[in-house]
Every structure is written in structure tokens, then in C-alpha cells.
Structure 1
């Protein structure tokens, strides 16, 4: 039995090493959150300051704003990405099999594009003078919209950009799950006179439910984290948009550039991790009551 498991162990070994190097070893750096780092003394010899590093963030006037933006944006990402990706996966399953390879490539390609490139593509659409959107508005006889100076548009813009980049990846995961569904279930439903919508509702969505719950739990665990590159490059770090697009990660980045204190960054990182851990535990408990198969543990 042990000899049979040995090849599986070697197969998992690279992943185990990566998790150990980049997941567990950095945990020793958590002490930075409680120290006044002095580079001449080193991390371990630096003075302990207790919770002083946490005061930088929690006593800041902007803490509530950036936390709200982070949570609201991530909640919108989870909800709308779920709706779009599941819908696309179902369409692929029912109508898109003939051009499956091309469709999968088109859907997955945005996931591989960096936010730097995406920011230039976005600018081509919403530039105040030459953007596609404003050119169309001019064609209709309407005034130009300077999107980079109007925060009210950026919830919509950021959510659309995130869906464009991520929905294809998640839709392929859901589509792969649908391929494992026994076709006889659909055949039996069709014999019983079930409509397409009824088959989607009672078979397709039911079979996707464990995967949906699991992926949502993973996303909820990261709800206090943001994709720094997305916010930084899409908005060009424009101060006019901070009321909507300034999140915890971008705020700390700017603060560290000014203060240059790694202890403050480590403190906020620890706060994000703890809150994410608590949310995962709570969400997993709820998920167990809904569907035990979808729970992570």
C-alpha cells in the first residue's frame, strides 16, 4: 500500500515545497508586526512595541473608508463573477460544444493578461478625448465624460474589468464540473417532460452547488485582500478616485512609501489574514448546513 502511495507523494512534492517556502516560512515574519524594526539591529534584536504598529491603521481617518471599499468591491466581485461564470459555463455545456476549444481560449485569455496591459486597453475605451466611449457619445451629440475625474463610475468600471479578466477562468472550472455529470440524469428529466430551465435549475445548478460553495468560501477568505495591480494601474493611482477605489492594499502601499516602516505593513497584513480566517470559519459553518459536500472542512 505504501509503495502505491509513493508516486502520489512525489507528484505532490513540488506543491508541498512551494506551500512550505511561501506559506509557512513567512509566518516567522509576523513578529515584525509587533516590533519597531531597526535595520542595524536586525528583526529579532529590534525593540518590541506591542500593538503600536496597529494604531497607524486603526486610528487613521481613512481606515473606515478603505475597509469599506475593500469589502464592497470584493463582495460585488464574488456575486457578479459567480453569476456570469456559471451562466457562461451552462451556455458552453448546452450550446457551445462545437467550437469548444476556441471558446475556452477566448474565455481564458484575459486571465493571462497583466493589469498593466489591461489599463492601456481601458484607457483606449474611456479616455476623455479619444476613448471609444466618448467618441460614441460625440456621435450621439452628447458631452464627453472624463471618467478619471468622476468616482461615481468606478464601481461599475472596476467590476466590469474584474469580470472580464476572471469570469472566463471560473467558467472553465464550472464547465469541467458539468462534464462529469451523468447524461442519463438529463435524459430521464427530458422523458419526464422537464423544460430546459427546469433541467438547469434542478440538475445543473444542483450538481454545481458544492463547487460554487467551495470557490465562494475561498474568495470570502480573501475578502480583506485586494488585487493591488488592478486598482493601482487601472486608476493610475489617481487621487480624485480614492473615495471609491482606495482599498487597504493601495492605502498601505502609499503609507509605506512615506513612512518606510515595515512593521505597519506587517500589522495590517496580519489584520487582513485574521479577519479572512474568521470569515472562512463562519462561512464554512454556514456552508455545512447548506451542503456538507461543498464545505472545505
Structure 2
């Protein structure tokens, strides 16, 4: 066998070994990301007595559904809050993606006269925030949106970061020649955007949709500021209130014998973990549907000129 063939065999052998090593490393990294959530699920099904005696364990001595049973007793409030959260997430994501994509498309076009001004304007709003007090005054006094569902949607209806991502995505993936051809054929700007640009920008749209949906799903601060009605409380804020009530009752259980007896039946740790599972599982299940577009959209849209 010649030296050239020997070197090729060695290179192929080394390539296979390196692939195996990298696959193992990626698998370990993936497992390290999934394991904490699996551990939380296990704890949520562990009995309170087992947690007090043996602590956290992968294989608990005693299993229990009391954490979920306690939350099931509040199913009326939880279902109402879940409906509000789903409504806000869906409508808010649609509004956010619409505003973001149209803004980014405008500043990505070289024939738009004020594209530099609006690009700098978006960057300034991303770097400098007006603060909580001016935002509160605008929402409550100027727009009169306090204690309405729009107070949960409009504060996050436009994302400067997503605008910059989509702007770069449009400039790098949508050839100017295609847009010029559409204009020559007599297509309007709106028709060009909806029929030609958007189908080419599906990876970018999916990326910013995931960012927006995640932001709306996890938001509780706007509810703390603007929502007083129990019928408009989102899921994350309701779970935080349940957690605060459990902590308060735990700290003040000695004030009343009846309260103390009631606290003995509340699985505090399991309930905390059950709330984490309830708030995390739905949005985690949505990731596989976006995964097809997420990586390409994020990498292409994140490249700077």
C-alpha cells in the first residue's frame, strides 16, 4: 500500500473517531440541558414527607400526586389564567411579528429614504429605556389601558432586537433583483412583501415568533403593574401569587391552630415544582415545531455587515 493511501486511511480513521467524540460531547451537553427539567418533574411527583426526610433524589422513596392535586383544587383560577396567557401569547406574537417584519423590511430596502433614521431610532430604543415610571404613565394616563388585556400585549408589541435581526435577514436572503422584477410586473409594495418576501423569510419569521412567544408566555411584570382584575391575571403571575401565599402561610402558620393544620396538608416543595412544570412544559413542547427554522434564521439574521 502506498504512503498516500495509508495517509488517507489514517485521515478517515481520525475523522470517524473525532465524529464519535463530538457526538458524545453534544449528547452530554444536550443531556445536561434536559436533566434539570427531568429532575424537577421527579421532585413534583415526590411526597412531601420523603422530601423532608431524604431530600431531593432521582429515585424518591415515596411518590405522590399531592402537588398537582393541590393545584387541581384551584383549577378554575388556573384555567382562566391559562386562557389569558394563551390569548396574550397568540395575539401578541401575531402583532409583534407583523410590526417587526414590516418595520425591518422598510429599513432593509435601499430605496427607502429614511431607512438610516429609523434604523438608528430602533437602536436607540434598544440601548436606552425610558424607565418604569414614564412607561406606567403612558399606559395608564395617556392610553388608559390599565386593567385591560391590551396592557399585557402592547408593551411588548415591538422588539428592537428582532427588528435588527429581521433587517439583516431581509438584506441577506431576499435578492433585490426579485423585488425589482415584481415592481416591473406591476406588483404593489404590499403585494411584493406578502407574496414574495414573506415566503422567502420563513426561517426569520419563525425565529422572531419564538422569541416573541417566549417573552409573552413568561411575562408577569406587566400584570403586576397594570392588572387588578382576577379575570385578567396571566398564568405566570397567578403561579407567583400562589407561591407567595404558600410562603406567607408557612411563615405565619403558628398564628392559628387551624391554619397550622391546613399547612400540614399542603405539599410545599412538590407544589413549587409542579408549578414550574405547568409553566414550562407547554412552551417547551413548542420548540420542536420551530427547530426546523430556528437555527438557520438565527444564524443568517445575526450576521452583521
Q: 1:274 aligns with which of 271, 281, 287?
A: 281
Q: Count residues in correspondence.
A: 250
Shift of 1:294: 4.1
Structure 1 pair 296–39 and aligned structure 2 pair: CA distance change class (3 A)? same
Deviation, 1:16, is: 9.9
Q: Contact 1:223 / 1:276 at 8 angstroms: preserved in 2?
A: no
1:33 shift after superposition: 0.4
CA distance in 1, matches of 2:60, 2:31: 26
- Name segments (4+ residues, structure 1) moved above 6 Å: 15-20
Q: How does 1:124-163 map to 2 (within 5 A)?
A: 124-126=137-139, 131=141, 133=142, 151=147, 154-163=148-157
Offset at residue 92 of structure 1 (A): 1.1
Q: Distance in 2 between matches of 1:252 and 1:80?
A: 26
Shift of 1:26: 4.8
Considering only aligned residues, what root-mean-square deviation do their CA atoms show, in Å?
3.9
- Alpha-carbon spacing, 1:252–1:173, altered in 2? closer, same or farther (3 Å): same
Long gaps (5+) in structure 1 = 135-144
Q: Retained in 1: the 8 A contact 2:166–2:204? A: yes
- In the alignment, is the contact (CA less than 8 A) between 1:181 and 1:207 conserved in 2? yes
Gaps of 5+ in 2: 1-11, 248-267, 297-305
Aligned to 2:241: 254
Alignment of 1:218-233 (within 5 A): 222=214, 225-232=217-224
Query: Aligned with 2:277: secondary structure?
Result: helix
- Correspondence 1:42 to 2:55: yes
Q: Which residue number in structure 2 is paired with residue 191 of structure 1?
A: 184
Measure the CA separation in 2 of the matches of 1:30 and 1:121.
41
Matched with 1:142 is none
TM-score, with normalisation over the residues of structure 1?
A: 0.67
Cα offsets for 1:196-236 (capped at 9, x unmatched): 3332233222222232235435666x49942233333x23x
Tell me, yes or no, if the aligned pair for 1:224 and 1:276 is still in contact at 8 Å.
Answer: no
CA 1:193 to 1:181, structure 2 compared with 1: closer, same or farther past 3 Å?
same
What are the Cα deviations for residues 169-201 of structure 1, in whole angstroms up to 9, with x where unaligned?
222221111113222222333333433333223
Map 1:1-297 onto structure 2 (within 5 A): 24-37=35-48, 38-39=51-52, 41-44=54-57, 48-60=62-74, 61-94=76-109, 95=112, 96-99=114-117, 101-109=119-127, 113=129, 118-126=131-139, 131=141, 133=142, 151=147, 154-164=148-158, 167-179=159-171, 180-216=173-209, 222=214, 225-232=217-224, 234-235=225-226, 240-244=228-232, 246-260=233-247, 261-279=268-286, 284=289, 294=293
Q: Deviations over 1:133-170 (max 9, x none)?
A: 29xxxxxxxxxx6x6xx63xx21222111114xx2222
- Cα distance in 2 for partners of 1:188, 1:126 equals 44
Deviations 1:73-128 (A, max 9, x none): 11121111011111111221232433365134135336xx5xxx75322332255x
Tell me, in whole angstroms, the C-alpha distance in 2 between the residues paired with 1:93 and 1:224. Answer: 26
Contact 1:70 1:223 in 2 (8 A): no
**1:264 Cα deviation after fit:** 1.0
